[in-house]
Amino acid sequence: MTDLLCIPQKRTTDARLKDQLANAIESTSYQTASFFDAELNKIAYLRESISDPEPSKTKLRDLQEYLLCLEEISKKFPNDQIQFTWSNPLLQKSDGTSEYSLKFERLNIFYNIGSQYSILALESNDGSSQALKTMCLYFQYSAGCFQYIIRHLNDCEEPVFDLNSGHALVNIMLAQAQECFWFKAIQDGHKDSLIAKLAKQVSEYYEESLKFGRKSQLIRNDWCLHLESKANYFTAVTYFRNGLSLGGKRNYGAQIKSLEMALEYLRKSDLPSRADFSVKIEESLKEIQRDNDFIYLQTVPSYIDPVKPAPMVNASPVEAFIPKDSTPIFKDLLPIGVLDACSAYNERQEEYVKQYVVNPLLSLNKLLYESLPKFELPPNLKNISEHELESYELSLNDLKFNSNNIEVQISEIDQILRQESETDSNLRLKYGTINWDSVPSANVNTAYYEKLQKLREYLNQGRKVDEETFSLFRVIDKKLITSPIKFPESNSPLVKQVGNVTRSREKYAKEVESKSTEHRLLPRIISEYKRTGETEFEALFLDHLKFFDIDIKYVQHQREENKRLLNQLQSQEDDSGTKRLDPAALYVEDLQYSLKLLEDVKGNLGDGANFYRSLHKSANELLYEVQKFENARSLERSSMESKLNSH
């Protein structure tokens, strides 16, 4: 067997893998790179060894071991931490492509493993039967590597090859593997019909590789010519062996046709072995033609049934020949995913504690607060600062200032309209209504007066609301709401008990939050990851949450306590009859009343600011319209006066 192709090795530049991995460890883990110095040296050595372009079985083993190391690294580091550069040998000029991607590196390693198998297949060709089996197997391994790359082309931004190139390489390797099988069948003396089917499959693989090679970005033209010659050569072999088989069946007319077709296809091939094969076909054809002319006298058909191919090879899945076991590297390094999982579980734990312990306790307290006697100080009742009160007073002054500004704008609009009307009347008196034929002002400025009237009405409405707001502000007990709240404790034993219970719950809630902060899942996750290597910790997390079962039981007990206290508060309220006026109750009522008035004032301030902002905009728009109207009328008057004076 000759004229077989091997796929050249890709070349790579020094990736400074040790340094890049060390930086990745420092940036993505709490561990230091020096702790993993042995593993870093090992992976750096393997990367350097696979950079050697010379093929060998030792290099193949290094490639496979390095590939396993990359798979381990992929579990520990993000994909985009390390940059790799590879150049394609199938291109005449290639400066190389680079990408920060472990997947990019893995696919290029698969490429070189496929290349190694194709080269080692040719080197093992010593003509023996065992060598044919080895070659056939290696070519299938090579096809499997390229097929794997095709399935993962979209895993990285810089493709290892284009899709057409990938399919071309797979079919070249399958064609050569099938060719080995075909040649072994010849050595073993199998029937011509079987050898024809095997050869037919060889030619089909070469035809497929040629089809993709012509569309490929990488396959060179001389390779395409070679593939075309191989496809035609094995088509000729197919028809030759098919002819011999037909002759064995005494179908001599069809045999002649098959041999003629074999000779026709062979003439399209440029392989060196074509000459000897051509002599062989011609001799067989002359012999059968002579015998048919004088003895068999069978008609030579114009068509014969095609030979069915017999595929005997396939692209081996990489799992079949890539070792799975290797010495683990970075076993003690926690991958970023584990740390992310810890952070996510910490957040979920905090949410769990809030949902089932802290929030329920605070809700129970709220129910008690709401059920306390009305003279008790509500928890959300707070005083305000004098500075805040002054800011509201300034905002009230702003309302008055805005109101006055808009009134000035309205007056200006009114003055422009009046002046325009007076000017129009004076000119009519001066020139006479017959000569002064301009439209009277009263007929054209009505719309502006209507808009002006609307503005006045809105302004008056705003001022009424402002006055109400000023009145509310004057009623507020300013000293009361700005003084520190000092409320005497209730003499009611039940109210005191409620106070003790709520304070105890608040303290318990803070202690549980503090306990949750200290009791984290990280140590258990680290132990579990080192023990199993798994990164799924949901079951571990659910078991970890059982630590808070005692706190959830405390909440359940407090619910029962709340029911008891609420019933007692209700009974006390029902039995108290007509409540006497209590200074504490009056204090709370006055404070609530003043704060309620202040809330109303704040609401009016916000509405007033928006109102005057909108009204100011409308006044500006009307002022612009009136000024534009007055300018147009002024130009019209000047033009008419010029005409009248010229006459």
pLDDT in tens, 340-394: 788 888 999 999 999 999 999 999 999 988 887 655 556 667 788 888 888 988 9
Residue 251 makes CB contacts below 8 A (sequence gap 6+) with 298
Coil, helix or strand at residue 457: helix
Ordered strands of the 83-87 beta sheet: 11-12, 83-87, 97-100
**Identity (one letter) of the amino acid at 104?**
F
For residue 336, the model assigns a pLDDT of: 67
Alpha helices in 489-582 (DSSP H): 493-518, 522-532, 538-544, 549-575
User: Within 10 Å of residue 305's Cβ, how many Cβ atoms?
Assistant: 10
- Decide if 207 contacts 231 (C-beta within 8 A): yes
Mean pLDDT over 456-478 rounds to 90
CA dist 495 and 306 (Å) reads 103
Q: Which of 217-226, 278-287, 489-498, 603-612 has the lowest mean pLDDT?
A: 489-498
For residue 210, the model assigns a pLDDT of: 97
Mean pLDDT over 444-465 rounds to 90
- Decide if 113 contacts 63 (C-beta within 8 A): yes
Helix%, strand%, coil% for the chain, nearest 5:
75, 0, 25
Token duo for residue 600: 């109303």
CA dist 14 and 48 (Å) reads 7
- Above 60 in pLDDT, residue 39? yes
Domains of the chain (ranges; CATH) run 1-161 (1.25.40.280), 336-350+489-595 (no CATH), 385-485+600-646 (1.20.140.50)
Token duo for residue 412: 């200006």
For residue 490, the model assigns a pLDDT of: 62
CA dist 346 and 351 (Å) reads 9
Contacts 24+ apart (CB under 8 A), 301-304: 301/253, 301/254, 301/257, 302/257, 303/257, 304/242, 304/246, 304/254, 304/257, 304/258, 304/261
∠ CA 645-646-647, nearest 5°, is 90
Gap between the terminal Cα atoms of the chain: 119
For residue 76, the model assigns a pLDDT of: 76
Mean pLDDT over 457-470 rounds to 91
Percentage of residues of the chain with pLDDT beyond 70: 93
